[in-house]
Amino acid sequence: FEGNRLVHVSPILVNKLADFIYHGPEYVQVRILTKDYCEVICDFDHTLSKYTHNAERVPVCHDMYAYEKSCLMKEFWNLAHKALVDGNVSREDIDCCVMEGGIVLRNNVNVFVNKLNQLSIPIIIFSGGIGNVIETVLMSSGVSLDNVRVVSNFMDFNPEGRLVGFQDPIIHCCNKTYDVLRNTEYFETTLSKRMCILLIGDSASDANMVDDRQTFSCEEVVVIRIGFLNEENDEKLKLFSSLYDLILLSDETFDVPLFILSSIFNIDEVCNHERKKKNFTNSNI
C-alpha cells in the first residue's frame, strides 16, 4: 500500500480471515452468507477522523483526560453536558462548530462506509463525543447513514432549536463497549446473528469495544482488530501488538480496511482467479 505503514500482522490473522469467508462449500454461498453474518465496529475520534492533517495535529478538547487517569468520567461528562445546556447552544452553533472545528475524515472513509451499505453490512461507530456532530461530519463527507448506528451522546433540542439536554445513556471512554447495546431491539433485529466482526480503533481501550459481546451471545464471535497507531512509540507499539491483528502507523487513509473488505467480498475476482488457476493446472498435466 503506497503511503501506508503496516507495522504488525498477527500470525492468527489468516485463520480469522478464513472464518470470515468460509460459510459454505460454494463461493456464491460464501458471498450471500458472509455479508449477512458480518458487522463493523469502529471508533470515531482519530480512527474514522484523522489524527493529523497537512502535517498538523487535528485540534481536540478531550484527549487530556486519558483513559488510564480517569475514574470519574461519568461525572465529568455530566458537567460538560450541563455547561453546554447552560450555554444556550443552538443547532446553528453545532453546524458552525462542525464547519470550523477541523474534523477531517481519513481518506476513503466515505468509500468504505458506502461499500458496507451496498453489502447491507451494519457499522457501529462508538464515540464519547457528540453524536449529532459525528452524523453531520459523515453526511457532509458524502457518507450514507442507512447502515450506520452511532453510539454516542446525542443532544435534545426544543422546537426553537435550543439545546435542552442529552439523551441517556452517557457514553464515555470507560463504557464505550458493546454492553450498551445489550437487550436493545437493534441488537436483536440487526446484530444478533452476525458472528464476524471487523473492529477498528486507535487506542488500547478501543480494542475491547466488543468484549462484552462474548458474554451475551450464544455463538463464538470472530473478531479481526485493526489498530491505527497515530504516533510512533515503541512502548505503545508493543502494547498494540498484543491487542490488534493489524497495526497501521501514521496512516491517514482507510485504504487497508477497504482492501480487506474488498478482498473478502469480491467473489467474482476470487472465482476468476480459481478458474485461471484450475485451467493453468489442467493445461500442464
Give whole-number Cα distances, 221 to 91, 195, 199, 218, in Å. 40, 5, 12, 9
pLDDT of residue 212: 62
Task: In whole angstroms, give the CA distance from residue 266 to residue 14.
Answer: 17
Cβ atoms of 130 and 63 within 8 Å: the answer is: no
DSSP conformational letter for 101: S
Does 15 have pLDDT greater than 50? yes
Contact call for residues 152 and 125 (beta carbons, < 8 A): yes
Dihedrals phi, psi of 106, to nearest 5 degrees: -60, 150
Measure Cα distances from 226 to 9, 61, 66, 129, 241 in Å. 9, 25, 21, 21, 10
**pLDDT tier at 55 (50, 70, 90 boundaries)?**
low
Residue owning grid cell 481519513: 106
Q: Which residue has the higher pLDDT, 64 or 222?
A: 222
Q: Which of 40-49, 92-101, 148-157 has maximum average pLDDT?
A: 148-157
Burial class (CB in 10 A: 0-12, 13-18, 19+), 4: middle
Q: What pLDDT band is residue 68 in, cutting at 50, 70 and 90?
A: very low
Confidence at 58, pLDDT banded by 50, 70, 90: low
Q: What is the pLDDT of residue 221?
A: 78
pLDDT digits (tens, 9 = 90+) for 181-221: 888 998 888 888 788 889 999 888 888 888 766 665 566 77
Distance CA 105, CA 8 (A): 23
Q: Taking the domains of the chain in order of start, what are their residue ranges?
A: 6-283
Closest Cα partner for 248 from 108, 68, 56, 75?
A: 108
Q: What residues act catalytically?
A: 43, 45
For residue 162, list its beta bridge partners. Answer: 90
Instruction: Identify the burial level of 63 via C-beta atoms within 10 angstroms of its C-beta, where 0-12 means exposed, 13-18 middle and 19 or more buried.
Output: exposed
- Alpha-carbon torsion (13, 14, 15, 17), positive or negative: positive
Could you report the per-residue pLDDT of 235-278, keeping only the tens digit for each?
A: 989 999 999 999 998 888 899 999 888 888 763 443 444 444 44
Domain 6-283 indexed as CATH 3.40.50.1000: yes
Unique residue bearing C-alpha cell 447502515: 147
Amino acid identity, position 126: F
Q: Report whether pLDDT(51) > 80.
A: no
pTM of the model: 0.78
H or E segment to which residue 238 belongs: helix 234-241
What is the rounded distance in angstroms from the CA atom of residue 162 to the CA atom of residue 145?
A: 24
pLDDT (0 to 100) of residue 216: 59
Distance CA 5, CA 239 (A): 17
Mean pLDDT over all residues of the chain? 77
Cβ contact 86:164 at 8 Å: no
Per DSSP, the three-state class of 173 is coil
215-231 CB burial, b ≥16 within 10 A, e <16:
eebeeebbbbbbbbbbe
Q: Lowest mean pLDDT: which of 28-32, 69-73, 134-138?
A: 28-32
For helices 27-36 and 13-21, the axis angle rounded to 10 degrees is 100
User: Cα–Cα distance between 141 and 134 in angstroms, integer?
Assistant: 11
